[in-house]
């Protein structure tokens, strides 16, 4: 494969493979397992994505941080059916179809088609195309194609972990007035008020029926992370706080202070059903000011 200058492939000590990108506009790393973006550092900015220092980078284990690609279910699989939390896409090997450069932006096109795991969980006929565009903006476009003769119902999320100065000095705007499912309160449905979201305890909420752009206002680092999206009706906000973090072996005890997840998704009520042969594209576009 002909690679633009500044794009390298490397095998990691843990036995995974990744692409590293160094362009005039940004630096980034993407693992072939899960097509998992782990780093994105636009020029003259601090890293935008959080990755745990204790994350495992070994085959078959989810990476803690960056942007996990969640598909075809969100959270635990429902219906008493078997399968790993957040689906099997993030721990499967994806194929890198192409690498293109357009001015300062480098786009990597990854493809995922049914593997043994997918078939064993009842997903024999689909194709995912995931285009990762690295530049002064990070654009992630996940397209699902239903290649079966039956309707395909699935959930999905670009489960972005953002690096922040301190969780108690951020606020999140864009979700005012939305309805959300509170996963820390027995999945109760609640109404977000007209205030920005501030986080002062374990927070795990799936905001429904919202296509809004959201902003993380990071007062400690004096920056804003703007996340626009299309083809996504859910936005998930998660911070494990102190006690939940203690249960996560791949997070340091103080990591909860340094990260917040704000995820562009289609989850719960917003699961997608594709007719045979149909497709759906979820796009999230991230920039820093």
**Catalytic center residues:** 159, 263
Taking CB under 6 A as the criterion, the residue among 85, 187, 242, 275 binding ligand TA6 is: 85
CB of 231 to ligand TA6, least distance (A): 18
Taking CB under 6 A as the criterion, the residue among 34, 42, 62, 72 binding ligand TA6 is: 62
Residue 206 or 215 having the CB closest to ligand TA6: 206
- 138 phi/psi in degrees, rounded to 5: -105, 115
Q: Round to whole Å and give the CA distance between 54 and 240.
A: 16
CB of 97 to ligand TA6, least distance (A): 26
In order of 23, 32, 42, 48, the CA distances from 136 in angstroms are: 10, 22, 5, 11
Q: Round to whole Å and give the CA distance between 233 and 142.
A: 14
53 contacts: CB under 8 Å, gap ≥ 6: 252, 255
Closest CB to ligand TA6 belongs to which residue? 238
Q: Round to whole Å and give the CA distance between 200 and 239.
A: 9
Q: Which of residues 229-248 bind ligand TA6 (CB under 6 A)?
A: 236, 238
- What dihedral angle (degrees, nearest 10) is formed by the CA atoms of 197, 201, 206, 211? 20
| Tokens (6 digits) for 81 | 């059916």
Residue 28 or 236 having the CB closest to ligand TA6: 236
The verdict on 110 binding ligand TA6 (CB under 6 A) reads no
The verdict on 261 binding ligand TA6 (CB under 6 A) reads yes
Residue 58 or 85 having the CB closest to ligand TA6: 85
Q: Which of residues 135-194 bind ligand TA6 (CB under 6 A)?
A: 159, 183
CB of 228 to ligand TA6, least distance (A): 19
In order of 98, 105, 106, 218, the CA distances from 101 in angstroms are: 10, 6, 4, 31
Contact present, 170 and 232 (Cβ < 8 Å): no
The verdict on 255 binding ligand TA6 (CB under 6 A) reads no
The verdict on 83 binding ligand TA6 (CB under 6 A) reads no
Burial bucket for residue 149 (CB in 10 Å: 0-12, 13-18, 19+): exposed
CB of 236 to ligand TA6, least distance (A): 5
Residue 26 or 89 having the CB closest to ligand TA6: 89
Residues that bind ligand TA6 (CB under 6 A): 62, 75, 85-86, 159, 183, 204, 236, 238, 261, 263
């Amino acid at each position: 494969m002909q690679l633009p200058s500044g794009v390298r492939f490397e095998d990691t000590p843990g036995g995974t493979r990744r692409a590293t990108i160094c362009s005039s506009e940004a630096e980034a790393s993407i693992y072939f397992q899960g097509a998992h973006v782990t780093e994105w550092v636009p020029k003259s900015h601090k890293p935008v994505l959080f990755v745990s220092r204790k994350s495992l980078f070994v085959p078959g284990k989810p990476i803690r941080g960056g942007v996990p690609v969640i598909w075809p279910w969100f959270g635990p699989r429902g219906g008493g059916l078997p399968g790993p939390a957040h689906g099997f896409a993030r721990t499967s090997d994806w194929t890198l179809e192409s690498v293109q450069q357009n001015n300062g932006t480098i786009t990597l096109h990854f493809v995922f088609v049914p593997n043994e795991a997918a078939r064993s969980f009842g997903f024999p006929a689909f194709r995912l195309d995931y285009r990762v565009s690295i530049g002064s903006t990070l654009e992630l476009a996940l397209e699902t194609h239903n290649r079966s003769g039956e309707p395909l119902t699935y959930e999905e999320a670009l489960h972005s972990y953002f690096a922040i100065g301190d969780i108690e000095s951020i606020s999140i705007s864009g979700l005012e007035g939305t309805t959300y499912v509170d996963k820390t309160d027995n999945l109760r449905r609640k109404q977000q008020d007209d205030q920005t979201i501030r986080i002062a305890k374990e927070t795990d909420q799936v905001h429904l029926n919202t296509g809004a752009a959201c902003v993380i206002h990071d007062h400690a680092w004096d920056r804003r992370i703007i996340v626009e999206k299309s083809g996504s009706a859910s936005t998930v906000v998660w911070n494990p706080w102190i006690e939940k973090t203690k249960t996560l072996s791949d997070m340091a005890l103080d990591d909860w202070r340094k990260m917040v997840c704000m995820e562009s998704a289609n989850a719960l009520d917003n699961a997608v059903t594709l007719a045979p042969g149909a497709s759906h594209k979820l796009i999230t576009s991230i920039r820093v000011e």
